Structure 1
């Protein structure tokens, strides 16, 4: 690992220390290989079920580690503030309550009602501001200065250390995975996957997944410069990033093989497939890795693949609409569709 990466990513000792903090509050989550998903993809797929975490999403691990260290180092802390579309806010809320710290969370106007309710139930002081996440984050930073609160970022080494504990669980249980597909929001999940793979000395290929309606990380990755891109996704709010984080982008550019984009329709199909094949509920970002695997299933045939069902916090009405969608048929096309067609579509998408 280069010196720059060493500064950004936790090592194995740090991840194992972070894991002890995580396991004081929750158990390890399961990983399963589901027959109907394997049939749809034409390969062996392992799903890491972070939708089984206490807040229904992976981010709780990072929040626990960050807050434990913060409360230990700053015992007179007045309070913390952050911005979120939901899962990060629930993570902060649960961790803040566990360590006796008051938390305020800024969310965009029109944010998920059910995610807002979940945060409020954890004792969070909820503030609505802005039309999208970046505006909420900028407002949270302003309030942090005005109210002398500690601003919790969306990306931080301690957050990555906590999140990496779940990738360590998956990769320790299935060390011979050929490929990991990882959704990208602000990058903590992606960087945690890299940190865990490197800590275990594995050579697993890592592919990032973004929303086709929030392309900042994909464009920045491919053009090797930080670029903003508008956010128009209606379903994958966990990937609704307009401005990439420079640190996580640097990790991606040196450690990730490629970045794929999945449309809202592809994500919705994957959400429905998760339910019909496994009876697990996936939110948009939580189904993105499966959506990407289905998109390139011809290329994945014969490989052992890992994905994360990173969260299951989807509003009832949205999920009901998704379950009413016509079911997609995957098995026949998975058997007949070679890698060339998928690669051609990928190249067309990149050119676009």
Structure 2
């Protein structure tokens, strides 16, 4: 099914990229004409250019991935350490290009706070991140590879695999595309992915299980009440910026990687980017976004299941409080001039 899906979506991406480049003058003229009528300084023109860059990068990467498949003996050696390293380099280079262009075009500054990149020498990591917008997955992977020199193993929802590049990389690198509610043993899949971590690996999981929305927050609280977990439901009601964490995957990862420290990650500025309309209206421009990292040494993590669930909820309340206290800083020209 996944091969058939990529066989359909990959040509669509290539044809769309060609069409965009052939008609690029019309796109740029139209975006420039529209920009004075939408919020944000030249928002339409800037977003159009980023779309062109993203489509072009995706098409070029599809060509390179085809080349690596051929060079690896029609995929026979893709799972070897050498080709795994090649694919991680491709991901890191592509992320660097896209984020460099985003910083240049959107005037977007991304700041990390917390442990320095050399704070975890020679230790595998379990990274638990707040989930609020599709952009946070890519931002986190970029930060882990470019700033922290890690090779991430990522658990993602299978909807992202519809992108032909993401779908291909998910099959070639240690990762899992999961389908919540599918009846599969998701905790077993997570445990398998978190096992045998190397010193430069970082296992990445989003304990909320989905992007934050108010509707999902309400459903999560109702679900806890429906399971009779009323105390956890009341705790979830006190958290207004995050969903109640689902502990099963985190507990499975902790058991599968007993030598790994945990890193908790919060961020601001990527909230509510769930649809194309959201991206058009709320994509952050001329702002400073912050990612906050906390290192939790393994010896500080409780051993019992119930104690670990309580520990995870404590951290998620702390992340919720941090998000409440931090908002993207406005770096627009008008704001800078007033300063």
Q: Would the TM-score normalized by the shorter structure come out above 0.5?
A: no
Compare CA radii of gyration and give the structure with the larger one: 2
More helix by share: 2
